[in-house]
Structure 1
Amino acid sequence: MGLAEDRVVVVTGASRGAGKGIALALGATGATVYVTGRTRSEGESALPGTVFATAREIDERGGTGIPVVCDHSDDSQVEALFKQVERESGALDVLVNNAFTIPDGLARKGPFWEKPLALQDMFDVGMRSAYVAGYFAAPLLVKNGGGLVVNTSSFGGRCYMHGPAYGAGKAAVDKMAHDMAVDFKPHNVAVISLWMGLLKTERTQAMFKGVPDQYKAFAAAAESPEFSGRVIDALARDPRLMSRSGQVLIGAEIGAELGVTDVDGTRPRSHRDTLGDPPTYNPAVVR
């Protein structure tokens, strides 16, 4: 894997939110970061942020940001993304699978059959998109002789969170990380699923602002979107990385182990005690 200053990274779904924070944190190490997303200009989304704005901020932080407008529901666009990485950079060190659609009605109260059927879109951009990006990134990672793939996930893979569509999608990317790790192991490529805590994204900040008293405690415990990027950087540098491959890791816990702090110098707390333990998988391999 390349040193931080010449590392080549792809972060999917990085116009805003967790992806943007991860891309900025990795860019601050001096890396070249390919930023993907659908938003070309402000106003296309109800929330602020574009792939171009994220890439410019990476440049300002000392890295090289490369914006790539990419719809991760379109396999041909994803394939073109990794052909561009190969053509321009010739290598790939880190892939962060973060692209995720958040349908209207996700956090609505009530059983799943009273919510929009469109919640299944999370199976496409979220679950399926992680598989497709891993598929097209694999030859570059193998050629590189080592690397790291991170699927961003959450405690929703283990507890009830927003209903069965959200939970199934998160559980799927957790298991996908475990199984991809088996195939990548001979090539020194590690695969991790990272459970993030509640993040101070554009979406949640708007929610906190709308009802500040109701969400006061949640806001106080939230992580910056950059914290996960700092954790991923620390994992990429960790000499024990391959021994962690295939695992579902809680960002706050692995961050504490590796000495990572948030942007304000604090250490976010783990929600294991209230939301559950990461899954452990049987070591059997059936080919």
Structure 2
Amino acid sequence: MKKLDGKIALVTGASRGLGKGIAIGLGEAGATVYITGRSFSEAKDAVGGSLQETQLEVEKAGGKCIAIAVDHGDDAQVRSLFERIENEQQGRLDLLVNNVFGGVRALGELGGKPFWEAEPELWDRVNDVGLRSHYVAGVLAARLMVKRREGLICTIASWGGLSYIFGAAYGSGKSACDRLAADFATELKPYNVASVSVWPGIVGTEQILRVVGEMDAENSTSDSAQIRSMRDRYNWETPLLTGRAIAALAADADIMKRTGRVQIVAELAKKYGLTDKDGDRPVSLRSLRFLLPMLRPKLQHYARFIPDLNLPWWLLLLTMLRSPKV
């Protein structure tokens, strides 16, 4: 029996990337998955991906999928989405995955320049469809979950909330996502509704693979060899692993013990006995096996000999380790 049979989930921003992998992972577990995105049948940029493609993949994995075109920068469209779920599912919503993020293009245009060389509206372009939209969806989902006194809200965040990566607007927004999830949890706990922040590792999304492909073309090496080299070096995950980890969280009868805390995908995979789609299981972002080669590139070829021991959170907070530049 699939562990999420009969459960209703919503994954925002699921046309591609993490959202697509999360939706497929929930479909594998038997959930009915609502997915949102701006592109129903045709991609709006060169990276590709559409809701229709994700829907087919979720159904192929064994789930039921309802795709709805939604612009999460428009509160009216978001309200309509939740009203539809409430009407179609008799008020039931078991899981919200706050994943949608509209800041990729803005960050790309920034091109690594310091924040003062960008216009102040960069903040809105990075955090409107992201931090703000997570809050709006959280409000509307919580209203349904509190009535039934059960549910889980997962907010996709990043180690960019702990360490500098992609600039001030991005890091501030991701740090705020962690805080948002924690404060949601404080207010929802009396109603038996859980809220967690989820940190994937370095994920091989379509956007990242495209960058790797461009690097490969410049270096005149084979795609597979270059991608494998980058993947091994940086301990990559696929989007599906995050989906499997969230499915395991949603099925955990003791989920309230985890509410309010950051959950690292690789650590969830280890706890629940999960593997990625290729059978691998990456180490945690705070594992010595991951961190030492980042700090000392010469150790990359010897990573398998480094103990898989996780640094305590307090030590990470003190060191504020910088992320790799991929």
| Alignment TM-score > 0.5, same fold | yes
In structure 2, the partner of 1:111 is 114
Alignment check: 8 A CA contact 1:249 1:278 kept: no
In structure 1, the partner of 2:16 is 16
Kindly, what percent of the aligned residue pairs are identical? 43
Give distance in 1, aligned partners of 2:127 and 2:28.
Answer: 32
Give the alignment of 1:261-272 within 5 angstroms.
261-272=275-286
Distance 1:103 1:200, change over 3 A: closer
Task: Give deviations 1:22-75, integer Å, cap 9, x for gaps.
Answer: 001101111110000111232422221111221122122221110010011111
Which of 245, 269, 294 is matched with 1:231 structurally? 245
The structure with the largest helix share of the pair is: 2
Give ranges in structure 1 of 5+ residues lacking alignment.
281-287
In structure 2, the partner of 1:219 is 231
RMSD of aligned residue pairs (Cα, Å): 2.3
In structure 2, the partner of 1:246 is 260
Which of 163, 167, 173 is matched with 2:167 structurally? 163
Distance 1:116 1:224, change over 3 A: farther
Give distance in 1, aligned partners of 2:145 and 2:236.
Answer: 33
Give the alignment of 1:172-191 within 5 angstroms.
172-191=176-195
Give ranges in structure 2 of 5+ residues lacking alignment.
220-225, 295-310, 317-326
Max Rg structure = 2
Answering whether residue 161 of structure 2 is matched by residue 147 of structure 1, we say no
Distance 1:141 1:218, change over 3 A: farther
In structure 2, the partner of 1:285 is none
Task: Give deviations 1:125-167, integer Å, cap 9, x for gaps.
Answer: 1100000001111121112321111000110000001111000
Displacement after TM superposition at 1:173 (Å) = 0.8
Give distance in 1, aligned partners of 2:52 and 2:76.
Answer: 21
Give distance in 2, aligned partners of 1:104 and 1:15.
Answer: 16
Give distance in 1, aligned partners of 2:281 and 2:196.
Answer: 21
The AA in structure 2 aligned to 1:200 is G
Between stretches 258-267 and 127-136, larger displacement belongs to 258-267
In structure 2, the partner of 1:206 is 210
**Secondary structure of the equivalent of 1:106?**
helix
Displacement after TM superposition at 1:116 (Å) = 5.7
Answering whether residue 158 of structure 2 is matched by residue 137 of structure 1, we say no
Displacement after TM superposition at 1:217 (Å) = 4.6
Alignment check: 8 A CA contact 1:208 1:219 kept: no
Alignment check: 8 A CA contact 1:248 1:278 kept: no
Alignment check: 8 A CA contact 1:8 1:33 kept: yes
Q: TM-score, normalised by structure 2?
A: 0.80
**Secondary structure of the equivalent of 1:72?**
coil
Alignment check: 8 A CA contact 1:106 1:162 kept: yes
Displacement after TM superposition at 1:104 (Å) = 3.0
In structure 2, the partner of 1:283 is none
Between stretches 183-192 and 250-259, larger displacement belongs to 250-259
Task: Tell me how many residue pairs correspond in the alignment.
Answer: 280
Alignment check: 8 A CA contact 2:203 2:238 kept: yes
Task: Give deviations 1:184-213, integer Å, cap 9, x for gaps.
Answer: 111111100011111111101111111136
